[in-house]
Every structure is written in structure tokens, then in C-alpha cells.
Structure 1
Amino acid sequence: MPNMNMQQMMKQARKMQEQLAAAQESLAQVSVDASAGGGMVKVTMNGEMQLTSIKIDPEALDSADVEMLEDMIVAAVNEAHRSVAEQANRQMSAITGGLNIPGMPF
């Protein structure tokens, strides 16, 4: 009987691995947009948390306040990062049934 439980556990583990691989592939296709400063700075980040685009409204450059522009860029990037992480956590929760498994990639 203990062998049967071990076989079931291994089957579940393989299934979870397959689901994780599918989730990672799906997440790689994600593209998240975020903005700051009322849309003066817009960024796009992919599901692998790589920044793929930054758009800066020319009016933001007119102010000549470099520090404010830098802050808006940081805020937009951080918002995009949070959004991707949130999507990854949702996908992981769907796979694990809400269990927090140490060492999992999300």
C-alpha cells in the first residue's frame, strides 16, 4: 500500500511540473503596461520581468526637472514589476491550490 501512495505522489508531482512549465510559457507571453506622472512616463514589461519599452511624453522633458522624470520612470517600472508578479502569483496559486511551496519560481 505505501508504494501506491508513493506512485500517486510522483504522478501528482509530474502533473504539477507540467502545469508549472505551461504557466511559465504562458507568463513569458504576458505584456504589462504601466504609467506614472499622469501618463507622462509609460513602460512595458514582459512576463519575464524584462523592461521592453519606455515612452516619455515630450512635455515631461519641457519641465527640465530631471529628478522628477527619474522618479516617474522608477515608479512606472516598479508598477509594471508588481503587476507581472501579481499575475505570476495568481497562476501559481491556481496550480498549487493556494499552497505556498518553498523554492518555487514564483
Structure 2
Amino acid sequence: MLKGLGGLGGLGDMAKMMKAAQEMQAKMAEMQEQMASTVVVGESGAGLVKVRATAKGEVTGLDIDPSILVASEKEVVEDLIIAAIKDAQVRGQNRMAEEMRRMTEALGLPADMKLPF
């Protein structure tokens, strides 16, 4: 015997959860696009080398102060370039983490919740 339709209430909750998941997925895609166009600048050597990159980590530009472009300083310049790239990557990762935190809070989820699941 059927006990009414009380069991269908769970389907309504499931539909709400699916809709929320779709909204979250759309917001994630939007954030990914935004991070691809967000520029961060990493630097090393007190600004002698600067690297521009997207918040997703794609290097888009490099600026080297001409004063360090001497043959005897080749290894130093290479190290400064690598350090500036790493700095840009860290800045991008931090920006991405900040945006993820904002998104999870906006969705009413705990700020430290890792997305996507």
C-alpha cells in the first residue's frame, strides 16, 4: 500500500541540489574565464625583473631592467627570471584561491571547502 506521496519530498530536495550544483558549475566556469584574463605581476631583484602572467599561470610578458644585461651576469639574470616567474605563479595561485573563497562563501559553503569537489 502506498503511504501517500511523502516520499517525493526527497526528489524536490534533489532537484534543488542539482540546480545549485548547475549554478555553481556556471559560476566556476565564469571565474575560470575571469582568471584567464586577470593579470598578476611577479618580480625579483627588487623589481629588476618583472613577469606578467594570468592568474591561471600563463606567462604573458617579461620586463628586464637593461642594467643587468651584461654577459658576466648571465646566470644571475636567469635566476632572477625564474624567481620572477615563480613569484607571478604564486600571486596567481593566491588570487585564484581568494576568488574560490569568495565563491564558496557566496554560495553559503564553508570558506575552506575545496571546489570543485
Q: Which letter does structure 2 place at the counterpart of 1:3?
A: L
Which of 11, 15, 26 aligns to 1:7? It is: 15
Give ranges in structure 2 of 5+ residues lacking alignment: 1-8, 106-110
Query: Taking structure 2 as the reference length, what is the TM-score of the superposition?
Result: 0.80
Residue 114 of structure 2 corresponds to residue 100 of structure 1: yes
The whole-number CA distance in structure 2 between the counterparts of 1:40 and 1:64 is 16
Residue 62 of structure 1: how far off its partner (Å): 3.0
Give ranges in structure 1 of 5+ residues lacking alignment: none
Which of 57, 62, 66 aligns to 1:54? It is: 62
Query: Taking structure 1 as the reference length, what is the TM-score of the superposition?
Result: 0.87
Indicate the residue corresponding to 1:23 in structure 2: 31
Residue 47 of structure 1: how far off its partner (Å): 2.7
Residue 73 of structure 1: how far off its partner (Å): 0.6
Equivalenced residue count is 103
User: Contact 2:48–2:64 at 8 Å: present in 1 too?
Assistant: yes
Q: Percent identity?
A: 30
The whole-number CA distance in structure 1 between the counterparts of 2:49 and 2:81 is 6
User: Contact 2:56–2:93 at 8 Å: present in 1 too?
Assistant: no
Indicate the residue corresponding to 1:45 in structure 2: 53
Indicate the residue corresponding to 1:82 in structure 2: 90
Residue 45 of structure 1: how far off its partner (Å): 0.5
Q: CA RMSD in A?
A: 1.7
The whole-number CA distance in structure 2 between the counterparts of 1:61 and 1:28 is 31
The whole-number CA distance in structure 1 between the counterparts of 2:21 and 2:52 is 34
Residue 63 of structure 1: how far off its partner (Å): 6.7
The whole-number CA distance in structure 2 between the counterparts of 1:58 and 1:92 is 38
The structure whose Rg is larger is 2
